[in-house]
């Protein structure tokens, strides 16, 4: 009986430690201006954005309320954000390398903690990962969640209507509004910008990350902001954040972004890696191919 009591206390202590680690991650993100939508610590938690919401917000046309019809990158980019979010929230990790070194994209994604995140899209993806045995690689999961797979047995993993669901989240947070627009042959629900202040803050934070707050050491950058920059580029929406810059700042910003994109993510993951942050590096590697 005493042994079982000790075991229960150890399990409970481990869970509390993980929850505290996740809370610290979010608090640190706010303090460092990671692009979560809040510059001040007193901001309402409801205005904290997930990486997916940030990418969508950068990609949405303010007045029209929809993303460019020509952007075919944002779908997979949003699924990459899902994987990174789950990694940063300590829900998933990459399998250990063992004695023999293995590439990031050959390591399987493992469930670390099945506790719900409170975000419907993230929890749906988490359930899929939990139910899948044996595990799959990051590249495979991005494809499955996007529905971009030739395997009909994997189509059930597709996250459907992601952009619309994210837009509704942003409507609930007061950033967007909902309208109906007529496009000759059909009506479409759009989500024009309602609160321009929060989007302006987000754009400013992205700009500052590669200008005033730039550091040559990628490991000193906030992981959420680093992820936002890489995935915004992969989703073809980063240009929207840099459009307001003057020519000189634009050139500096793009040069520094290129320096991030040209990194050896395998080598970077070995410097200060763990199973959860390795998910982030693996997603970067997947989108660099």
Angle value at C-alpha 269, between 288 and 232, nearest 5 degrees: 40
Assess if residue 68 is contained within a domain: yes
Query: Would you say 202 and 37 are in contact if contact means Cβ atoms under 8 Å apart?
Result: yes
Query: Would you say 74 and 250 are in contact if contact means Cβ atoms under 8 Å apart?
Result: no
Q: pLDDT value at position 17?
A: 54
Assess if residue 274 is contained within a domain: yes
- 160: domain CATH number? 1.10.3630.10
Domain count for the chain: 1
Count of alpha carbons within 13 angstroms of residue 4, beta-carbon side: 1
- Give the pLDDT of the chain (289 residues) as one tens digit per residue: 445 545 554 545 555 555 455 444 444 433 333 333 333 333 454 458 999 999 999 999 888 877 876 778 899 999 999 999 999 999 999 998 876 778 999 999 999 999 999 999 999 999 999 999 888 999 999 999 998 888 888 888 999 999 999 999 999 999 988 888 776 676 778 888 888 899 999 999 999 999 999 999 999 999 999 999 999 999 999 999 999 999 999 999 999 999 999 999 999 998 876 778 999 999 999 999 7
Assess if residue 172 is contained within a domain: yes
Token look-up 């609160």 returns: 195
Assess if residue 185 is contained within a domain: yes
Question: What is the span of the domain harbouring residue 173?
Answer: 46-195+265-288
Assess if residue 242 is contained within a domain: no
CA–CA gap between residue 93 and residue 39 (Å, rounded): 29
Q: pLDDT value at position 39?
A: 39
pTM of the model: 0.82
Q: How many angstroms separate the most distant Cα atoms in the chain?
A: 72
Pair of tokens at residue 69 = 């019809």
Q: pLDDT value at position 99?
A: 66
Q: pLDDT value at position 248?
A: 97
Assess if residue 149 is contained within a domain: yes
Assess if residue 208 is contained within a domain: no
Pair of tokens at residue 10 = 């150890």
Assess if residue 227 is contained within a domain: no
**Residue 197 Cα distances to 37, 39, 201, 254, angstroms:** 10, 11, 6, 24
Q: pLDDT value at position 249?
A: 97
In this structure, the chain runs to a length of: 289
DSSP 115: -
């Amino acid at each position: 009986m005493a042994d079982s009591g000790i075991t229960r206390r150890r399990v409970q202590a481990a869970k509390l430690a993980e929850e505290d680690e996740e809370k610290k991650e979010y608090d640190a993100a706010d303090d460092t201006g990671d692009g979560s939508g809040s510059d001040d610590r007193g901001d309402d938690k409801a205005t904290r954005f997930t990486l997916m919401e940030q990418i969508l917000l950068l990609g949405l046309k303010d007045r029209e309320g929809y993303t460019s019809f020509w952007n075919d990158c944002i779908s997979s980019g949003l699924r990459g954000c899902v994987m990174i979010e789950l990694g940063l929230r300590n829900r998933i990790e990459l399998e250990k390398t063992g004695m023999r070194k293995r590439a990031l994209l050959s390591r399987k994604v493992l469930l670390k903690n099945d506790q719900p995140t409170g975000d419907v899209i993230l929890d749906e993806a988490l359930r899929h990962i939990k139910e899948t045995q044996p595990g799959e690689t990051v590249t495979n999961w991005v494809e499955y969640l996007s529905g971009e797979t030739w395997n009909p047995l994997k189509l059930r993993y597709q996250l459907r209507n992601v952009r619309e669901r994210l837009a509704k989240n942003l409507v609930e947070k007061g950033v967007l509004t909902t309208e109906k627009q007529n496009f000759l042959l059909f009506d479409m629900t759009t989500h024009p910008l309602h609160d321009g202040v929060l989007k302006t803050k987000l754009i400013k934070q992205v700009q500052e990350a590669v200008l005033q707050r730039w550091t040559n050491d990628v490991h000193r950058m906030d992981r959420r902001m680093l992820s936002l920059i890489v995935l915004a580029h992969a989703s073809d929406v980063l240009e929207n954040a840099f459009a307001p810059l003057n020519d000189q700042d634009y050139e500096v910003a793009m040069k520094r972004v290129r320096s991030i994109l040209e990194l050896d993510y395998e080598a970077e993951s070995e410097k200060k890696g763990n199973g959860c942050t390795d998910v982030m590096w693996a997603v970067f590697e997947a989108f660099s191919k």
